[in-house]
Structure 1
């Protein structure tokens, strides 16, 4: 979507700061929801920007490192942002049922937003989804459909369903109202700039599934500069993308010197990133290339280690996508692709409690003792 920058030039920092304590403080920069009465929302956004000094030291950064922690959203992932914008548009357009194809987090968010709005929902998921994400979708009472296939199979089916008479009243957030859905991701760029005192960080590392999130964070920074709310950092900003080794078609294309994405069959533990045929992959490559960035990927063991590293150094428990981002951050620093002397923001897009199986076998044993000082002494807890 394109906006009239001249018309938005009247938007001020003060106007935004006086707005609601959620993504709708940026309503003037979004394509829907200008009337608060139309908004379908759980009030997501303004999630913590966590100073990560200890993590920076561990990975070899000398400049400030921040973790944008979207696990603090209402359904514990960044999807609450995109869903709120998409379903607000859906309501304004007259749709009477909400739906999605999802690898898990989107399903949680659509079901929760529909419940809040009192609108029926139906969500479609791959049959091998983590149980935590299945339960945290079903609890909201909407209809849940598991498909024998990958996310790409689910997404293809939803694209066919939306063309049928039975689903003409249904807004699929990532199909027929996708343009609005995508624009909701921009709020992750706006917020970081505002939380840094209206500055754009020199470097960002973003997890990639479809590639849409990365492109929209880059777009948000460009819009803020264009309408005069911030100045571009000296030398501009650099965007880096992170994928898992089990599903890395975007990073592989970049490594091969092309923007032509070859679809893959996803594997591995980072299921929220398992989109084998990413719709925005070529656009993500363009953004990364234009800003002088790079992409890399991490295997399952590296992801598990990175989840624990992030938790140990920041107190942030990330799902597997966050582990991918931190693991790739380490690789980018080690390879010299990311400048250790420039301020960096990494994005954690979801809560680790949703993907407990990923690290269940990695953490240390629990001490079991008798409820006495002798029991504590026998366990080595006392001298």
Structure 2
């Protein structure tokens, strides 16, 4: 990345010095008695704030952690969004059970029946009017959040400069079969509805631990979600992404959407979290909030430059409580050059979904407790779903 005489930054072609991009770690990280996953989480969380990528070289690195048989790809978001980068990564992988085949991707979108119902002509006008109204409401809220409206402070709220504070990382592990069981218990629900219900319930549980009876029931906590805006959902064909004339282009093609959740004290029906999340997400899907955020971001970037665009992004992150993104991963176990691949971040993979939770450790010193709250929330929902199914039979 270079800067011209007018102060504008842009990319230029350069020679790749591979030795500056490949980092090989031969010794165990930190405490030798620590679990491998804990050591890897510590390594990733340290990378997040301790050593930014140098701008005098292309903004990517590959870390080979030999003691853990692990490959870590560190890539700046300026080079592409999660869909672009994951599509590129999986193009390099093959199925563990069939090395000649590429991994397949499982859809987590709305069901076919639900989509067919929504296309009925007798609802077109109603949905059109509702979409316009919701778009106006949510866009106004988005603008207000970008400028001054913010969540009430809680035990999980950050502070000025929190993005530079030391980090900790923990992983919440879910079985997709458990999530599907909960999904089937709530009419027309999707996996994303279940996921957000788990987040809502899990954060309520954690806040009960950190500040019992200190918060008003129904308190809103706002999340900022990244939404893929490509016409084709899920991962993309790499050849089309790299084709400059293709309608499916490489880069960042996502919008942002505000997703509010509400704190509720213990004792509520676990499935109510999913029902509330579904109702909220359905309204969000009907609006054009994510498309608006993408268009306004492009407009500000083009007309006023990166500094103002970055400031607006920073403001909306500061005014919300958490951010979330997820990427659909392969259904099968995969290999990279014949070695098992370890998935990091929030994505589905081979029948499970792993949520990596990165926190500022001065604010949330125990992210493993947050992860346990999320896992317990899903298990309680699964039990409630099984009980509901048994009562109907």
TM-score (norm 1): 0.26
Q: Larger RCO: Structure 1 or Structure 2 (Cα < 8 Å, ≥ 6 residues apart)?
A: 2
TM-score (norm 2): 0.25
